[in-house]
Structure 1
Amino acid sequence: MKPVRGAAGLAVALLVVDSVVGLAAAGVDLWVASLMDRVVADPDSVTDAELNGADVIFAGSGLVEMAARLAAIAGFLFWLFRVRDNSEELSPEPHRRSRRWLTFGWVVPIVNFWFPKQIVDDIWVASTPGRVPGVGLGLGRRPGLVWAWWLMWLCAGLVSNVGARLLFAGEEPEELARAARFDVFSIALYWIAAALAIAVILRITAMQEAGRTAASCTDHGG
């Protein structure tokens, strides 16, 4: 079995960075919303320079936020591939989804609503110490933590999509302020999803490291 603490540490660190960047982006959102409120209340109270600066900062924060999100996803996938390798050694039962779905399962429409969760479920079940062999991974007890993480991830993605549509469709200051505040809501959901993802990473990693240590002791004793 491969050690997974390094991959887990990288994934957790990138998720934390993504959350910190999200916090900064939320601050920018609230600042832009406040600026739009000023425009609505008194258009002459806001200069063109302020509006142009807000556009640049808002767009820049969005790009940084996207980069941090993609890095966090890449770190999570790196960890996921590593623990999937180990879970196949820990359990003889086949996983419900082949290895190609560890990547494609997130982007293929429709199936991306449940394939990634099934993959993590099977890894969790296969990694559980003391599991009775011979029972299919799909029949194992589904961990509530994975359910919570996955539902929050789906909700965050849905709200983020709606917020993006509001932003691109917005033309009036009131609409832009509303879109910016809606984005804060989506960021908050992503924070919760990231915290739950970290909990999932740490739990599966702990189970696999315990299994790896036990296997090492057995081999040494043999």
Structure 2
Amino acid sequence: MSTTLPAKPYRDARLLATVTVALLCLAFACDIANVVMNLHIASVTDAMIHRPSTVTSAEIRGVDRLRHDVLPWLTPAQLAAVAVPFVALFRRSRLNAESFAPGAMKVAEGWAVGGWVVPVAALWMPLRVAHDIRRGSALPDSRNLVTAVLVNSWWALWLGNSLGVAVLPTILDGVLLDRADYDTDVAAVSAHAYAVADVVSGVFGLLAAIAAVLVVHAVTVQQRARAAAGGLVSPQVAHVFPAPGQDIAGA
């Protein structure tokens, strides 16, 4: 005898989405600060490599202060602030998607959280969960905000940021050291490589934050509209996606 599991209950995630977007905006500001500081470090260390006589001791102390007292805690702090609400919203959105399409999900719900922390699987499992959310939240016509292009773009930018932080500094450090003269300040070369790598990954981080805000907004609005269409929440939110041929005033 087969047993049909009950559908997951829909829960409005608007408040959690608002908190997540606010923290993503804060992360965006931190990324801007990160890029600006690393541009300064890259400029000073480039001068230390090619024009050492033009660099003052105050500039060197300033670079050391940024590298050792500011930047080491800036990225972990912004990640810690955003990670918990974002993953909580990601899981809630996955459960909501299953409430709209019971049994249609291709990835188990546990991957909505585990996909972010399991080594190697973290490279693609959150993307698969995101596409489950996209498909499960789809409206029965073409008025969908959550598109495959939006989801894939967000994930590509996130991977660019993550891989840039993880591997690009080591690659650039090796390349620059191979090209350096024998009397070049090795510490300055390494500091320059890490600063340039952080600028590149920081740009990916800025774009990823923007894409994440768009994804969060699109998923939240579309799920509320889908729930309204199914009678799961108050019809007052149905005006977000009025029926074909129906204007907003008549929704």
Q: Structure 1, residues 166-213: CA drift from partner, whole Å, max 9, x if none?
A: 688784313322321221111101111121111111111111111233
Indicate the RMSD between aligned Cα atoms, in angstroms.
2.5
Query: 2:154 touches 2:212 (CA, 8 Å); kept in 1?
Result: yes
1:179 is aligned with what amino acid? Y
1:182-197 paired onto structure 2 within 5 Å: 182-197=197-212
Instruction: Indicate yes or no: 2:35 matched with 1:35.
Output: no
CA drift at 1:44:
4.7
Instruction: Indicate yes or no: 2:222 matched with 1:207.
Output: yes
Q: Structure 1, residues 43-87: CA drift from partner, whole Å, max 9, x if none?
A: 354454542332222231231122112322222112112212222
Aligned to 2:80: 70
- Between the two proteins, the alignment pairs up a number of residues equal to 209
Identity %: 28
TM-score (norm: length of structure 1): 0.82
Aligned to 1:96: 106
Query: 2:104 touches 2:136 (CA, 8 Å); kept in 1?
Result: no
Query: 2:172 touches 2:197 (CA, 8 Å); kept in 1?
Result: no
1:1-222 paired onto structure 2 within 5 Å: 1-48=10-57, 50-59=59-68, 60-130=70-140, 143-165=148-170, 171-214=186-229, 215=231, 216=233
More helix by proportion, 1 or 2? 1
The gaps in structure 1 that reach 5 residues or longer are: 132-140
Query: 2:95 touches 2:109 (CA, 8 Å); kept in 1?
Result: no
Q: Structure 1, residues 130-167: CA drift from partner, whole Å, max 9, x if none?
A: 27xxxxxxxxx972211111122112211221234368
Higher RCO by CA contacts (8 Å cutoff, separation 6 or greater):
1
The gaps in structure 2 that reach 5 residues or longer are: 1-9, 178-185, 236-251
Pick the structure with greater CA Rg: 2
Query: 1:77 touches 1:103 (CA, 8 Å); kept in 2?
Result: yes
